[in-house]
């Protein structure tokens, strides 16, 4: 079994883990912002699909890679605006609306794909983001290449965690976002619009989710194909809970999950078919359920999560 | 208490002809009111008199249908809390508007800085808060989380929020409802300091004693209209009460009790937590023909005790003894079978089912009895007859037994619960907050029925956060603090202040869980 253990010390394993973690980090930060503002965003899965396609398609049509990222973010923000409008001023059920957004965003994406690219059989390719080795830092053994020989989008993912954490805890707008998820009337009483803060947070969060989707088509792979999000949005929702709605903890959760995922692929190769591969596929999910049971029971969730706020009601 | 006696004091706030309708209901009917610099005006009135509506209009939560508001001589744009804040109005709501899992400091600075500024200015804010706190007796650590604070401290944070924004006019909506007597005294001391510093205060209350001790002038509202206005020093308590109620204040005569045998007893009972403290080794006896009052600050185990007696919360240890027999399996049904009449704390959540009819609700505890069911089928005629009996006997204003309970007012709903609980003359009556949110008339009615039940020999446990109510009705008083009970005291044995000390946990520290 030493082989199974040695995997943990190979650079390639950690490179893969961080690569798998990157889209999850974006998606988790996005969901975290939404939920901190009191809005559950189950549209995440669909928004990631839409982001994956719109970013990729922009580049496919000749756009710059960063323009693609921007287009993905805007696409996400638009779906966020829709989700926010339905759940905040209209106060509709966040569950139902979110699932609706997921269905709408993914179907609309497939539909658009077929309309725009009717004749293709094999998925067309783009030139994706290339790894960029950060000087000095990438020379650290094992962790150096894993953390600092990645594509720029991965660095953007790290940055998103820092920015989200800084915004939430160190700036007035972050305090307003957290307060609106705890007790909207506290925000109203201080003269800030609950609707504006919540919709703004959902839009910003949805933009991050969409960038997470775009990571897959523009960094991890180089083409768009159906089912590529493959439940990553749902995992992000679990990661937010796992991280007790804190950016740092959620980041650790995303990396742990990705590490399990990378690990199981390598374990499959070692055991050489003795154990059915489905068992390994299951492993990250089983572990995340176990982790949720252990960690999330004590988590203090935002008090006003999923509770619509109507002005004038008490 | 302020300097409003001086004629030159400027008028800081003027409401003129404020009218607000909610559908057919006129919540405020052409109300005018003015406030001077350094003055405390008490806004007195029963629940539903329109006090809170009026203040919500002032603060911009609602928009008035008619009328103007002038602050420091300038018209206030309606329906905009931001404008009210900017004009120097600070409001301390009855239900605190604090984000619980955030620090005191974050709650206070929320909305005071440009939203997109890159820092919170924490150290300057901390200094300012500390200064305000020492100046006005509002001590609270700016870096603590709201969840860690007591109710009194949370209220201080609310006041600090207003002062931090340089409020000149402070509105306090029923500020003492949740405070212990000591906290109330401290609040009044703070108000005196604020007024001395030139602030003006509107103090909303329905408690006459407080109004008299804190205000310069009393404005009385009744049924949405201005019922009268008096200088506090020139008005008698009785006069104010009559203005508030619109007639004679109903008075209940309560005679001496004649306690009988112990009907219900707890021996060393502990529970898990339930919306507040858990019970720890609690022992108590309820005797027939006696009202036992349980005083305490909300969240100290009252909910657990009520749930335990009603059978919805299990005892982890200890015995429940009814009529001298230890109850083996105590459950809601066992409790009802043993003759428990239950008036639950929250009539909407656990008392009645709003979307079901009056008939359905009144038989919800007794639907199994042969009176209402035959071979497992409900006898709706019997249910409707029973509902009609209660409606008549308890003077419930309600269109028919088929009416949905949601449409009833709080007082009428409570009468319905009372009728259901007292039907069949139960031996044990558990009354949790039986008069919360009711107007004076309904309160007197509920009290009269509880006294009646006592006089026919029932053991009544009255759980209330209203010390006046506890002191008026109880033959014996227990105080609960962090899930432990004080020794019982007889009627009139302890003063309000002494009870307040017990409620704050002083004198219970030695772990005196009485064994009487």
| Digit-coded pLDDT (tens) for B370-395 | 889 888 899 999 999 999 999 998 88
**Structural contact between residues A242 and A28, judged by C-beta atoms closer than 8 angstroms:** no
What residues of B are in the A interface, CB distance below 8 Å? 56, 61-62, 81-82, 84-86, 91, 93, 95, 97-102, 106-107, 109-120, 161
B116 and B230 housed in the same domain: yes
- With beta carbons under 8 A apart, name residues in chain B contacting A173: 115-116
In the prediction, which pLDDT does A4 show?
79
Helix (H, G, I), strand (E, B) or coil at B223: coil
Beta bridge partners of B432: B463
Please check the confidence at residue A78 and state whether its pLDDT lies above 60. yes
> How many other C-beta atoms can be found within 10 angstroms of the C-beta atom of residue B513?
18
Rounded to whole angstroms, the Cα distance separating B383 from B373 reads 9
* Cβ-defined contact of B100 to A183 (cutoff 8 Å): yes
Beta bridge partners of B478: B294
Exposure of A106 by Cβ count < 10 A (0-12 exposed, 13-18 middle, 19+ buried)?
buried
- With beta carbons under 8 A apart, name residues in chain A contacting B100: 182-183, 303
Domain count, chain B: 3
What residues of A are in the B interface, CB distance below 8 Å? 170-173, 175-176, 178-179, 182-183, 185-192, 300, 302-303, 311-312, 314
Digit-coded pLDDT (tens) for A238-289: 999 999 999 999 999 999 999 989 988 888 888 777 888 888 888 878 877 8
**Structural contact between residues A50 and A217, judged by C-beta atoms closer than 8 angstroms:** no
Mean pLDDT of chain A: 92
Q: Domains in chain A and their CATH numbers?
A: 2-110+151-296 (1.10.3470)
Which residues are CB-neighbours of B282 under 8 A, at least 6 positions away? Answer: B266, B268, B269, B270, B301, B305, B318, B483, B484, B485, B513
**Which one of B217, B245, B273 terminates a domain?**
B245
- The distance of A314 to chain B (nearest Cα, Å) reads 9
Digit-coded pLDDT (tens) for A8-43: 888 889 999 999 999 999 999 999 999 999 999 999
- The distance of B116 to chain A (nearest Cα, Å) reads 6
ipTM above 0.85, yes or no: yes
B119 → closest Cβ in A171, A300, A303: A171
Rounded to whole angstroms, the Cα distance separating A288 from B184 reads 50
- With beta carbons under 8 A apart, name residues in chain A contacting B84: 191
The answer to whether residue B254 is domain-embedded is no
- The distance of A253 to chain B (nearest Cα, Å) reads 22
* Cβ-defined contact of B111 to A192 (cutoff 8 Å): yes
* Cβ-defined contact of A312 to B61 (cutoff 8 Å): yes
- With beta carbons under 8 A apart, name residues in chain A contacting B86: 191
- The distance of B57 to chain A (nearest Cα, Å) reads 10
Helix (H, G, I), strand (E, B) or coil at A212: helix
Rounded to whole angstroms, the Cα distance separating B89 from B200 reads 10
Q: 3-state secondary structure string, A146-200?
A: HHHEECHHHHHHHHHHHHHHHHHHHCHHHHHHHHHHHCHHHHHHCCCCHHHHHHH
Parallel, antiparallel, or unpaired for β B476-481 and B489-490? antiparallel
* Cβ-defined contact of B116 to A182 (cutoff 8 Å): no
- The distance of A172 to chain B (nearest Cα, Å) reads 5
B150 and B29 housed in the same domain: yes
Beta bridge partners of B43: B204, B219
- The distance of B173 to chain A (nearest Cα, Å) reads 14
Q: In this structure, what token pair is assigned to residue A121?
A: 């059989």
First to last CA, chain B: 46
Q: In this structure, what token pair is assigned to residue A224?
A: 């768009």
Cβ-Cβ contacts under 8 Å between A and B: the total is 89
**Which one of B373, B389, B420 terminates a domain?**
B420
Helix (H, G, I), strand (E, B) or coil at A118: coil
Q: In which domain, by residue range, is B161 found?
A: 11-245
* Cβ-defined contact of B110 to A188 (cutoff 8 Å): no
B312 and B454 housed in the same domain: yes
B119 and B198 housed in the same domain: yes
Q: In this structure, what token pair is assigned to residue B153?
A: 């401290």
- The distance of B144 to chain A (nearest Cα, Å) reads 15
- With beta carbons under 8 A apart, name residues in chain A contacting B97: 183, 185-186, 188-190
B150 and B230 housed in the same domain: yes
* Cβ-defined contact of A300 to B101 (cutoff 8 Å): yes
The answer to whether residue B3 is domain-embedded is no
How does DSSP assign B475-514, residue by residue?
Answer: SEEEEEETTEEPPPEETTSS-HHHHHHHHTTTTTTT----
A225-228 long-range contacts (CB < 8 A, ≥24 apart) are A225/A123, A226/A110, A228/A49, A228/A52
- Total residue count of chain A as it appears in this document: 314
CA angle centred on B297, ends B294 and B303, rounded to 5°: 65
The answer to whether residue B252 is domain-embedded is no
Rounded to whole angstroms, the Cα distance separating B391 from B437 reads 20
Parallel, antiparallel, or unpaired for β B217-222 and B66-71? unpaired
In the prediction, which pLDDT does A130 show?
94
Rounded to whole angstroms, the Cα distance separating B273 from B287 reads 27
In the prediction, which pLDDT does A1 show?
62
How does DSSP assign B313-330, residue by residue?
Answer: S--SEEEEEETTEE-SS-
B375 and B323 housed in the same domain: no
Q: In this structure, what token pair is assigned to residue B350?
A: 């656990």
B223 and B269 housed in the same domain: no
A175 → closest Cβ in B61, B91, B109: B109
* Cβ-defined contact of A173 to B115 (cutoff 8 Å): yes
What is the chain A residue with the closest CA to B81?
A: A191
What is the chain B residue with the closest CA to A182?
A: B99
Cα B332 versus chain centre, distance: 26
B436 and B404 housed in the same domain: no
A187 → closest Cβ in B93, B95, B110: B110
Which residues are CB-neighbours of A121 under 8 A, at least 6 positions away? Answer: none
- pLDDT above 90: percentage of residues in chain A: 72
The answer to whether residue B250 is domain-embedded is no
CB burial readout B204-241, b (16+ within 10 A) else e = bbbbbebbbebbbbbbbbbebbbbbebebeebeeeebb
B59 and B186 housed in the same domain: yes
* Cβ-defined contact of A303 to B97 (cutoff 8 Å): no
The answer to whether residue B6 is domain-embedded is no
> Can you tell me which residue has the tokens 């103007």?
B68
**Which one of B377, B396, B420 terminates a domain?**
B420
The answer to whether residue B356 is domain-embedded is yes
Instruction: Identify the DSSP state of B401.
Output: T
B132 and B205 housed in the same domain: yes
Q: Hey, what's the torsion of the CAs at A146, A152, A153, A154, to 10 degrees? A: 20
Dihedral of CA A243/A249/A251/A254: which sign?
Answer: negative
Q: What is the CATH number of the domain that holds B61?
A: 3.40.50.300
Q: Hey, what's the torsion of the CAs at A190, A193, A197, A200, to 10 degrees? A: -150
| C-alpha separations of B159 from A253, A294, B107, B164, B468 in Å | 40, 40, 12, 9, 26
The answer to whether residue B275 is domain-embedded is yes
B126 and B191 housed in the same domain: yes
The residue ranges of chain B whose pLDDT is under 70 are 1-8, 507-516
- With beta carbons under 8 A apart, name residues in chain A contacting B118: 170-171
The answer to whether residue B371 is domain-embedded is yes
* Cβ-defined contact of A182 to B117 (cutoff 8 Å): no
- The distance of A177 to chain B (nearest Cα, Å) reads 10
Dihedral of CA B491/B492/B496/B499: which sign?
Answer: negative
B194 and B87 housed in the same domain: yes
> Can you tell me which residue has the tokens 């912002």?
A33
H/E element, A249? helix A247-271
């Amino acid at each position: 079994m030493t082989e199974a253990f040695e995997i943990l010390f190979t650079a390639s394993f950690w490179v893969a883990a961080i690569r798998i973690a990157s889209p999850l980090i974006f998606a988790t930060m996005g969901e975290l912002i939404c939920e901190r503002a009191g809005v559950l965003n189950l549209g995440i899965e669909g928004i990631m699909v839409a982001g994956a396609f719109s970013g990729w398609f922009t580049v496919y049509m000749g756009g710059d890679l960063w323009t693609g990222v921007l287009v993905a973010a805007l696409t996400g923000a638009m779906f966020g605006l829709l989700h926010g409008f339905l759940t905040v001023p209209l106060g509709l059920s966040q569950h139902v609306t979110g699932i609706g957004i997921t269905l709408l965003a993914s179907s609309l994406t497939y539909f658009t794909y077929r309309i725009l690219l009717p004749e293709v059989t094999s998925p067309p390719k783009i030139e994706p983001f290339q790894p960029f080795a950060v000087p000095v830092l990438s020379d650290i053994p094992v962790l150096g290449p894993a953390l600092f020989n990645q594509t720029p989008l991965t660095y953007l993912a790290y940055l998103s965690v820092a920015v989200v954490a800084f915004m939430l805890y160190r700036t007035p707008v972050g305090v307003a976002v957290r307060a609106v998820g705890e007790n909207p009337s506290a925000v109203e009483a201080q003269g800030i619009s609950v609707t504006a803060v919540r919709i703004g947070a959902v839009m910003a969060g949805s933009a991050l989710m969409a960038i997470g989707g775009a990571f897959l088509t523009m960094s991890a792979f180089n083409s768009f194909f159906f089912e590529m999000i493959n439940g990553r949005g749902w995992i992000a929702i679990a990661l937010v809970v796992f991280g007790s709605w804190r950016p740092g903890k959620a980041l650790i959760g995303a990396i742990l999950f990705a590490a399990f995922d990378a690990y199981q692929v390598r374990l499959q190769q070692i055991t050489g078919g003795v154990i059915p591969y489905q068992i390994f596929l299951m492993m990250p999910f089983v572990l995340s359920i176990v982790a949720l049971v252990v960690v999330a029971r004590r988590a203090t969730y935002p008090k006003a999560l999923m509770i619509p706020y109507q002005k004038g009601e008490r | 208490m302020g300097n409003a006696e001086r004629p030159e004091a400027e008028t800081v706030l003027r409401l003129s002809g404020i009218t607000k309708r909610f559908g057919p209901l006129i919540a405020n009917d052409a109300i005018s009111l003015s406030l001077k610099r350094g003055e405390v005006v008490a806004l007195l009135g029963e629940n539903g008199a329109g006090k809170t509506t009026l203040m919500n209009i002032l603060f911009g939560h609602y928009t008035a249908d008619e009328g103007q508001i002038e602050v420091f001589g300038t018209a206030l744009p309606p329906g905009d809390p931001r404008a009210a804040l900017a004009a120097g109005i600070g409001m301390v709501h009855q239900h605190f508007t604090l984000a619980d899992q955030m620090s005191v400091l974050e709650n206070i600075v929320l909305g005071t800085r440009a939203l997109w500024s890159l820092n919170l200015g924490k150290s300057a804010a901390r200094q300012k808060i500390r200064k305000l706190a020492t100046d006005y007796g509002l001590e609270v650590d700016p870096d603590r989380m709201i969840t860690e604070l007591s109710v009194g401290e949370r209220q201080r944070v609310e006041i600090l929020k207003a002062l931090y924004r340089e409020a000149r006019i402070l509105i306090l909506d029923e500020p003492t409802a949740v405070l212990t007597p000591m906290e109330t005294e401290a609040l009044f001391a703070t108000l005196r300091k604020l007024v001395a510093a030139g602030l003006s205060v509107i103090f909303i209350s329905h408690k006459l004693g407080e109004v008299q001790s804190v205000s310069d002038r009393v404005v009385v509202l009744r049924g949405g209209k201005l019922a009268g206005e008096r200088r506090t020093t020139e008005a008698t308590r009785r006069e104010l009460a009559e203005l508030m109620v619109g007639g004679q204040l109903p008075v209940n005569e309560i005679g001496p009790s004649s306690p009988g045998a112990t009907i219900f007893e707890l021996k060393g009972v502990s529970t898990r937590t339930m919306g507040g403290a858990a019970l720890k080794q609690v022992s108590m006896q309820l005797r027939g023909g006696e009202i036992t009052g349980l005083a305490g600050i909300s969240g100290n185990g009252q909910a657990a005790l009520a749930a335990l007696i009603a059978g919805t919360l299990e005892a982890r240890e200890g015995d429940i003894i009814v009529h001298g027999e230890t109850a083996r399996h105590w459950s809601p049904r066992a409790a009802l079978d043993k003759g428990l009449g239950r008036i639950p704390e929250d009539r909407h959540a656990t008392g009645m089912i709003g979307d079901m009819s009056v008939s359905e609700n009144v038989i919800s505890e007794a639907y199994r009895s042969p009176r209402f069911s035959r071979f497992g089928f409900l006898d709706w005629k019997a249910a409707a007859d029973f509902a009609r009996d209660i409606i008549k006997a308890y003077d419930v204003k309600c269109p028919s037994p088929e009416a949905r309970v949601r449409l009833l007012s709080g007082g009428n709903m409570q009468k319905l619960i009372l009728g259901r609980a007292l039907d069949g003359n139960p031996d044990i009556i558990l009354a949790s907050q039986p008069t919360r949110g009711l107007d004076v008339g309904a309160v007197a009615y509920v009290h009269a029925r509880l006294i009646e039940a006592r006089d026919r020999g029932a053991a009544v446990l009255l759980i209330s956060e209203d010390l006046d109510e506890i002191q008026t009705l109880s033959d014996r008083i227990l105080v609960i603090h962090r899930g432990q009970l004080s020794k019982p005291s007889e009627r009139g044995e302890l003063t309000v202040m002494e009870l307040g000390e017990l409620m704050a946990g002083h004198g219970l520290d030695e772990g005196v869980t009485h064994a009487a």
